[in-house]
Amino acid sequence: MIIIGGTYKEINDFSDSEVIYGSGVRALDTILELDKDISIDFHTCCHEFARKIQLRHGCFSNLRLHIIDSEDISFYYIHPFNLSGISPRPDYFNHNRKVINAEGDDVLIFGMLEADFHITANRVVYDPQTSVRPVLFSDTGSKVDTLAYVLNVHEAKVLTGLEEPDEQAKYLFKRENCRCVVIKNGAKGAYVYDSNVESKYIIPVYITPKVSCIGSGDVFTASFSYFWFKGYSALDSAALASKLVACYASSGNTNDLRVKLEQFSYPELNQSRQGQIYLAGPFFSFSQRWLICEFYKALLQENIKIFSPLHDVGVGGDETAERDIEGLNSSDVILAIADGLDAGTMFEVGYAVKKGIPVVVFNSCEHSNDLQMLSGTGCEMVNDFATAVYKSIWYAIK
């Protein structure tokens, strides 16, 4: 098996973490956790990061590293839904792009900032990895007998110019002559299209106590590739990939994925509606407005309906209360920011509890003793940004 993908430093300011991963290394770790005996050729580009890859993976005699010397790249995240910067700037690589050449039976390819690819293969899984500059596989000059696309909803829209997943898949079948198309839809699961089957499949997500979403797409694509190359159907490969993403998301790492899959027990999310999230929280200072807006943008990315007093009502006098109450009554879950212990937010939480509306409380700095009334009345307490977003969406759609 050949893996082509990036090796990047990922810096998450919200959780104060810094790791060397990127799509390529995370896919490599995922597949080696599933099958330590598999033979892999790993193609990537980096400089100082190369030594860390060699140290981490030197024990695998069945792994061959092909590293093109290139500027090391770092991704900076304010939180998992906000990529705040890339260093060096992406436009640097417009004039300094490398080319990865490879030939083999089974090839997993991730789009890369710093490199193009030219391959000849029997089977390929292609994940463009960007909605800014996605490239159709057919435009790379590569040759393949059987092609599978794995995209997220944003990449699919940009790549095809179409809005609906069904039309996007039809376009790719016709334009790319591919065998299957998988379109990931975040907290709502994924769609699987097989050229040999008329109907589409909907792959569920699984409810986990925590959601570490940076890199979850890499794990999905890598897992899908592993099983698809083994001869599993597109449906079965995607179904197993979704379970492995849940295993990864709950821990934030790829350790013991095979064991976790065998012991899998997370409940499936049964979607029955397109509900609304009420976004509660103070917005009387710049920092408070910033946090509200970050949650608002993250929820918008997931294509969920939101009622936000800041965005839908604005700052006003006593007359705003009536419109806020209307928003509460029409919502299916409350995402409440507890930081600051704002009186208005606490009122909204209490109103929701009385009405039987589920409440997800995000708290990053307040003492737990100050929130005992919330935790003691069934509110779900969360201190992680991504987990708060995903749990709110799950309540809204299940």
Residues of the chain with pLDDT > 70, as a percent, come to: 99
Residue closest to 229 by CA, chosen among 132, 106, 122, 311? 106
Q: Is 137 left (phi over 0), alpha (psi -120 to 50) or beta?
A: alpha
**Domain(s) of CATH 3.40.1190.20: residues in the chain:** 2-262
Write the burial class of residue 284 (CB in 10 Å: 0-12 exposed, 13-18 middle, 19+ buried): exposed
| Strand intervals (E) in 111-171 | 115-127, 143-152
Banded pLDDT at 327 (limits 50, 70, 90): very high
pLDDT digits (tens, 9 = 90+) for 385-396: 999 999 999 999
**Residues paired with 358 in a beta bridge:** none
Q: How far apart are CA 19 and CA 9, in angstroms?
A: 6
Rounded to whole angstroms, how far apart are CA atoms 332 and 306?
A: 10
Residues 250, 77: Cα–Cα separation, whole Å:
19
What are the start and end residues of each CATH 3.40.50.450 domain in the chain?
A: 276-397
Pair 108, 119: CB distance under 8 Å: no
pLDDT value at residue 196: 83
- Reported as a single tens digit per residue, the pLDDT across 159-213 is 999 999 999 999 999 999 999 999 999 888 999 999 988 788 999 999 999 999 9
CA atoms within a 13 Å half-sphere pointing along the CA-CB vector of 238: 26
pLDDT surpassing 90 at residue 120: yes
Look at residue 90 in the predicted model and tell me its pLDDT. Answer: 86
Side-chain-facing half-sphere of 268: CA atoms under 13 Å: 11
Q: What is the mean pLDDT of residues 66-82?
A: 94
The predicted structure's pLDDT at residue 324: 94
DSSP state of 165: H
pLDDT for 314 = 83
* Spatial contact of 114 and 6, defined as CB atoms under 8 Å apart: yes
Taking the C-alpha atoms of residue 329 and residue 348, their distance in angstroms, rounded to an integer, is 11
Query: Stretch 352-379: mean pLDDT, rounded?
Result: 95
CA-based radius of gyration for the chain: 22
CATH number of 2-262: 3.40.1190.20
pLDDT above 80 for 256 = yes
DSSP code at position 45: E
Q: Which CATH number fits domain 276-397: 2.60.120.260, 1.20.1440.230, 3.40.50.450, 3.30.450.80?
A: 3.40.50.450
Provide the pLDDT confidence category of residue 13 given band limits of 50, 70 and 90.
Answer: confident
